[in-house]
Amino acid sequence: MKLWILCCLFSCLGQWALAQTNTTINHNGVNRDVVYYVPSTYSSGQHLPLLIVLHGLTQTGPGIMAITGYNAIAEQNNFIVCYPSGLNNAWNADMNVSVSTADDKGFIETLALYFQSNFNTDPLRQYLCGFSNGGFMSHKMACESSMCFAAIATVSGNMSDITYANCNPQFTPAVLHIHGTADAVVPYGGGAATGVSVELTMEKWRTFLSCDATPSVVNMPNTSLIDLSSPQRYTYTNCMADLQHIKITGGGHQWPGIATLVGGAGTINMDFYSPQVIWDFLNGKACPTNGLGDLTNANEIILSPNPTTNSVKIEKFGQWSYEIIDQFGKVQRYGNEQTEIQLTGLETGVYLLKVTDSEGTMVKRIEKINE
């Protein structure tokens, strides 16, 4: 019996070791450390969502992995999660007090492309989650990246003054912002060292997403009576994408629901487990297909082969036109009715085929692979 238990234990440890991987990804000539987790049910034919978790200042990717427990959530919910490390334990989020000059926006985009190429992740379901400095970076990415991240969630992070002034998103990301009113590191009301207030950050997103002026406010269950804090959820209505704020009255610079001495500073609200609440918010969010409008039945389009190397045959009747769009929303090919669409000259990766006829627009995913 003991031998059987030991065998099972080593087997489980082996599966865990295969699922969790440390690697380096080169960006601008610098090898960047990344740890990631792939669920045990993964197969190469799947197009899983990708969650990128960004640590706070002085922290690391492995450290935020240990604090949040996202590996278990990824295993249960079938998505890939990765934890990159910033150079010198920081992210260049244009903070009011400079902490980094690295091209982290480009690095995070490179990171997303790495998982698309190596694990076939879905470019329409890419998410960012960040704590503190990582939260600032998440807002910066949503404001400035030409790559679509369908949703972001931040804890104790905000917009720097530079990000706030320059925020001009190319997409409409869903946003969840979690923040404590007693945060002494990134004050709820803003400050010279940290940037604008939480209210201004939420108003920036409310305006951009065309939400109604006044959100609905619901008191979340106050299950812990000894944590000296309580959460409220603000939900904005009639938005182009989901916009929510969880305000923790009395909460500090911490991950709610995680009792750790190394995660932050101040009061830890224990009324909800923030990593699971964050995933519940992110899950199912998808990038708009470049403003394609009303979609008709994409099953009417038959593509073969797909994945493909240099061309794809298409079966579609009637009069129609097409565009091939890359992950940055740029049109790479266009034309009219053809039996075969050439992909020669395009880099390997995932593209969207937009087909328009008299009834509307249809979208299909094309994956170009190496010969």
Residue 287: Cβ within 10 Å count: 22
What is the predicted pLDDT for the residue at 123?
87
pLDDT above 70 (res 14): no
pLDDT class of 336 with cuts at 50, 70, 90: confident
pLDDT above 60 (res 83): yes
In the predicted model, what is the mean pLDDT of the chain?
Answer: 88
Same domain, 276 and 349: no
pLDDT above 70 (res 11): no
Q: What 3-state class would DSSP assign to 310?
A: coil
Q: Is residue 2 part of a domain?
A: no
Share of the chain above pLDDT 70, in %: 91
Same domain, 264 and 312: no
**8 A C-beta contact, residue 85 and residue 34:** yes
Share of the chain above pLDDT 90, in %: 63
Q: What is the C-alpha to C-alpha distance for residues 201 and 190, in angstroms, rounded to an integer?
A: 10
pLDDT above 90 (res 291): no
Which structural domain range is residue 308 located in? 298-368
Structure confidence by residue, pLDDT tens digits, 238-251: 999 999 999 999 99
CATH number for 303: 2.60.40.3080
Integer angstrom CA distances of residue 178 from 120, 140, 153: 30, 16, 8
Average pLDDT over residues 6-29: 63
Same domain, 208 and 332: no
Same domain, 64 and 166: yes
Average pLDDT over residues 5-34: 68
DSSP letters, 208-264, are HTT--SS-EEEEPP---SSSS-EEEEEE--S-SS-EEEEEEET--BS-TT---SSS-
Same domain, 318 and 260: no
Same domain, 87 and 222: yes
Same domain, 255 and 344: no
Q: Is residue 1 part of a domain?
A: no
Cis? peptide before 275, omega within 30° of 0: no
pTM as predicted: 0.81
Pairing of strands 126-131, 50-54: parallel
Q: Write out 87-145 in H/E/C secondary structure.
A: HHHCCCCCCCCCCCCCCHHHHHHHHHHHHHHHHCCCCCCEEEEEECHHHHHHHHHHHHC
Q: Is residue 5 part of a domain?
A: no
What is the predicted pLDDT for the residue at 6?
33
User: Phi/psi at 277 (nearest 5 deg)?
Assistant: -60, -40
Same domain, 276 and 306: no
pLDDT above 50 (res 292): no
Q: Is residue 287 part of a domain?
A: no
Q: Please list the helix, strand and coil fractions of the chain in percent, rounded to the nearest 5, in that order.
A: 25, 30, 45
Structure confidence by residue, pLDDT tens digits, 130-189: 999 999 999 999 999 988 899 999 999 999 999 999 999 988 999 999 999 999 999 999
Same domain, 325 and 272: no
134 CB-near residues (< 8 Å, 6+ apart): 53, 54, 55, 56, 59, 64, 91, 154, 157
pLDDT class of 299 with cuts at 50, 70, 90: low
- The count of domains in the chain is 2
What count of Cα atoms within 13 Å lies in the side-chain half-sphere of residue 285? 27
pLDDT class of 275 with cuts at 50, 70, 90: very high
Same domain, 311 and 239: no
Same domain, 88 and 164: yes
Cis? peptide before 221, omega within 30° of 0: no
What is the predicted pLDDT for the residue at 2?
34
Q: Is residue 221 part of a domain?
A: yes
In 3D, which of 346, 352, 330 has the Cα closest to residue 146? 330
Q: What is the C-alpha to C-alpha distance for residues 275 and 225, in angstroms, rounded to an integer?
A: 21
**8 A C-beta contact, residue 355 and residue 294:** no
